[in-house]
Structure 1
Amino acid sequence: MTPSARLSGDDRRAQIIEAVTPAVLEHGGAITSRQLAEAAGVAEGTLFKAFGDKESLLTALTEHHMTNDDAVAEFTSDSLEELVATLVAVLVERMRFMFQLVVALGPIAQRVAEGRREAFDESKLWIAARFEPFESQLRVPPLVAAEVLRTLAWSAASGWGEHSAVSSVDDILQVLLHGIVRAETAPDPSAPQHPAVTTASAPGTQKA
């Protein structure tokens, strides 16, 4: 769809970026100006007028997505379980997209990400703030809960380089809320059994 002439310059650039993002993820940095123009539904001259050149467009695209906070907009939760479920789902989806973007654009995305390291670190504080109303239900401080949640979401999103993810969103949710140990663990039948020592047979308890 051709961007409307009534849009502001920033809105027009944002619309182009959203339109070309799927093509960029598919072709990566090797995408041509012609492919970008076709994906945006505009002439190549329009792209050059809006962004200057291809690398500037790809840089602007990366900055747009790395500063787009729609996925982590503030929300309120009635329960800790609802909060964790929402945060995990949002963060895993967002981080997976970021990984795809970095893989697709390589040095361009890495350069933008490096410049936003401070903002990424601050995201832990934002998550911790969401935990604070439920602090009495936590075994750890809100900041620690935020760090653990973010770390698990990051590892699930990256998949540690495996072709298929091992951890699902529900897996992370269960670990965060209940841990990895069952509340009631059945006895291990292979473990050696020791007879209980009774008071009557214990040394020093027998009558002389």
Structure 2
Amino acid sequence: MSPEQRREMIVAAALPLVAEQGAAVTTSQIARAAGIGEGTIFRVFADKDELLDACMAEAMNPGHVLRELASISLDDPLDARLVQAAEALRAHTDRIGTVIGALHASGHRRPRGNGDRPAPDGRRASMDATLDAVRELIEPDRAALRPSPETLASVFLGMVSNRYHLVAGESRTPLEEIVDILLHGAFKAPENAAT
């Protein structure tokens, strides 16, 4: 196994523990979960902080959600595709929040050196890739839509992402309701309209 593959395996084993315990997780617990000796961790990570940072980076990695979005069948109706997309995005956001929240709550506030900083355009590239993946889910219905798939994807992502900025204790708007309002509007159908 290459050092990079070993790092990935250790991070995959560590992530659930980090989400649960934050920085309080021990390298011994991580080694047990990975089925390796504790010393093996330090052959591919300089220290525990580097491992925790790798776990945070993996939780934030957009590759997972992009693969989930790409796996949604274009044969499903548009509303079903968008609900599935919203569920994938919610899971991704929840995963990030759980890992970062656990690390922060347990005191992990490692100062970053200049070499540790993410590329300035990394977040923008991630957002653009997500927008493009959602646009691809909408594209088959282009002829039936008033706005372009690009515009609808942007509005959809705005509606779904704003759903997560609620005060603790408030209930979240159901994803199906967000998609229904996006696709069908907020007005009731006129009583004399044919159904």
TM-score (norm 1): 0.71
Matched, 1:155 2:155: no
Residue of structure 1 equivalent to 2:88: 90
Which of residues 50, 53, 61 is equivalent to 2:55? 61
CA distance in 2, matches of 1:113, 1:162: 32
Residue of structure 1 equivalent to 2:100: 102
For structure 2, the residue ranges without an aligned partner over 5 or more in a row are none
Please tell me whether the aligned partners of residues 66 and 133 of structure 2 are also in contact (alpha carbons under 8 angstroms). Answer: no
Letter in 2 for 1:161: V
Residue of structure 2 equivalent to 1:203: none
Count how many residue pairs are aligned between Structure 1 and Structure 2: 178
For structure 1, the residue ranges without an aligned partner over 5 or more in a row are 1-6, 187-208
Map 1:168-207 to 2 at 5 A. Answer: 168-184=174-190
Give the SS at the match of 1:89: helix
Listed one character per residue, the Cα deviations across residues 170-197 of structure 1 (whole Å, up to 9, x for unaligned) are: 22222222223222379xxxxxxxxxxx
Matched, 1:166 2:164: no
Residue of structure 1 equivalent to 2:15: 21
Listed one character per residue, the Cα deviations across residues 18-49 of structure 1 (whole Å, up to 9, x for unaligned) are: 11111101122343333333433333211111
Please tell me whether the aligned partners of residues 63 and 112 of structure 1 are also in contact (alpha carbons under 8 angstroms). Answer: no
Shift in Å, 1:57: 0.9
User: In structure 2, do the counterparts of structure 1 residues 151 and 114 end up closer, same or farther at CA, with 3 Å as the change threshold?
Assistant: farther
Matched, 1:120 2:93: no
Please tell me whether the aligned partners of residues 88 and 172 of structure 1 are also in contact (alpha carbons under 8 angstroms). Answer: no
User: In structure 2, do the counterparts of structure 1 residues 103 and 113 end up closer, same or farther at CA, with 3 Å as the change threshold?
Assistant: farther
Matched, 1:8 2:8: no
Residue of structure 1 equivalent to 2:25: 31
CA distance in 2, matches of 1:89, 1:152: 13
Give the SS at the match of 1:160: coil
Shift in Å, 1:127: 1.9
Over aligned residue pairs, what C-alpha RMSD do you find?
Answer: 2.8
Aligned-pair identity (%):
28
Give the SS at the match of 1:127: helix
CA distance in 1, matches of 2:13, 2:171: 28
Letter in 2 for 1:165: S
TM-score (norm 2): 0.75
Higher relative contact order (CA 8 A, sep 6+): 2
Give the SS at the match of 1:63: helix
Letter in 2 for 1:174: D
Structure exhibiting the larger radius of gyration computed from Cα positions: 1
Shift in Å, 1:70: 3.4
User: In structure 2, do the counterparts of structure 1 residues 102 and 92 end up closer, same or farther at CA, with 3 Å as the change threshold?
Assistant: same
Residue of structure 1 equivalent to 2:145: 138
User: In structure 2, do the counterparts of structure 1 residues 32 and 115 end up closer, same or farther at CA, with 3 Å as the change threshold?
Assistant: farther
